[in-house]
Amino acid sequence: MSKMPNLAEDFVKKMFLKYYSECFDQVCIPNLFKKREFGGLLSKERIMIRHRKIETAAELQEFLCSIIPSDVYFSSAYYEQPDAPEMNSKGWFGADLIFDVDADHLSTPCDKIHDDWICSKCGFAGKGISPEKCPVCNSEKFDVKTWPCELCVNAAKEEIIKLLEMLKSDFGFSDKEVHVFFSGHRGYHIHVEDDSIRTLDSVARKEIVDYVCGLGLTVAFGRSRYNDSDALNLLRTLRLSNYGWRGRIAQGVYNFISNAAREDYQNIGLKKNFVEAILANRNMILKNWREKGTLPLIKGVGVKNWSKIAEHCARVQSANVDTVVTTDIHRLIRLAGTLHGKTALKKMEFQPSEIEDFDPFKDAIAFKDGSTSVLVHSAPEFRLGDITFGPYKSEKVELPTAAALLLVCKNRAEVVSDGI
């Protein structure tokens, strides 16, 4: 929750207090919570209160209702003394495996429409994902304004679906060990709770990240270390029945050939004559691959061209996760059932099997009663529940509490009158 006018801040704090007072049963108490560190971010001061040890659910509710944080966190790590003020005094003895997929790290067509950034130093501004450095002054600090649109959140969901498949099929984790959450803003989290990974250090977790992201994966068949005969033999081993990344790439290539248009091939660097050869033989390639199990080679398309297709499909099949979150063995992560300070939506857990049907803009709504009058500076069209709102530009509107809170928390609106 970024800085906002006092009336808006008072409104948000009042509603957050109402939620934690009346709906605390929706807050999820994590496993082994007495061994975890808790913390909360104060909205006005932008100060994190942390190193808190929680002994009971009642104590957690008292903590939330007393400081009314904009965001609530708990440690993925387990400690002997979670309330010790220094990290090296806490007595770390394990941590859950955490994955974070956020639309902030994904390039989507819509981010150039609703996301803005401005350099904190020189004021140079742009749209879409902010650069690593300002092109004018090289500063690395930006004021970023994003929006949780359905296209962005669905893009994050697609990454989580790929990650779930890998965690189950390649690592062998079950639904009991894998917990899936909507973050409350523009992404999803996965928590893996299992004794086999609890004591892994940062280096080992980096290996897991590299695997799911496909980092260091060699999929080219025409590299200099292979002669033509070896490269062809290697290409023929690309079977749809393979496990792990080889099978994943094979399935990706199969799907690409099944659906790709002429421009899709050209976009990955294939020349026109190669594209025409593949398109002319598409049905034969797919039929033989299904029936005989191996990728059939065709005249006019060599191993280097297949390599380009395979490399593209490997990128598509990989899961785009925040690598820093997973490798951090002391990470504070948002507590499930609590409100996100940028939207007032809940961080929501759901079963992995329910991910296709999960609707964050309906299922994660915390406030379903009341209305509030707000002056909206600027907001794109958006949906909450079954109602579509906006777009708005410099207009006063009476909105349901959840919609008003979303706009206020995103600094898109000011409170005119509080109808609660």
Per-residue pLDDT at 338: 98
Contact 296, 284 (CB under 8 A): yes
pLDDT (0 to 100) of residue 1 = 42
Q: How many CB atoms lie within 10 A of CB 69?
A: 24
Low-confidence ranges of the chain (pLDDT < 70): 1-5, 220-234, 418-420
Cα atoms found within 13 Å of the Cα of residue 75, Cβ hemisphere only: 29
CA angle 399, 404, 408 (to 5 degrees): 150
DSSP bridge partners of 388: 383
- Do 101 and 212 meet the contact criterion of CB atoms below 8 Å apart? no
Amino acid 271 reads: K
Report CA 397 to chain centroid distance, whole Å: 32
Residues with Cβ within 8 Å of 118's Cβ and at least 6 positions away in sequence, in order, are 124, 125, 126, 142, 143
- What is the pLDDT at residue 226? 46
Full DSSP string of 216-234:
T----SS-TTS-HHHHHHH
Neighbours of 23 (CB within 10 A): 14
91 with 343: CB under 8 angstroms? no
pLDDT at 232 (0 to 100): 67
d(CA 101, CA 103): 7
Q: Of 408, 359, 344, 386, which Cα lies nearest the Cα of 70?
A: 344
pLDDT attached to residue 77 = 98
Cβ-Cβ contacts under 8 Å for 237 (sequence gap 6 or more): 246, 294
- Length of the chain (residues): 420
Dihedral over Cα of 312, 313, 316, 321: its sign = negative
Predicted pLDDT at 144: 86
Tell me which residue of 246, 245, 171 sits closest to 208, measured CA to CA.
Answer: 171
Burial call 180-215: b when 16+ CB within 10 Å, e when fewer? bbbbbbbbbbbbbbeeebeebeeeebeebbebbbbe
pLDDT at 220: 59
The full DSSP string for 241-286 is: T--HHHHHHHHHHHHHHHH--HHHHHHTT--HHHHHHHHHTHHHHH
Q: Which residue has the tokens 């690593």?
A: 132
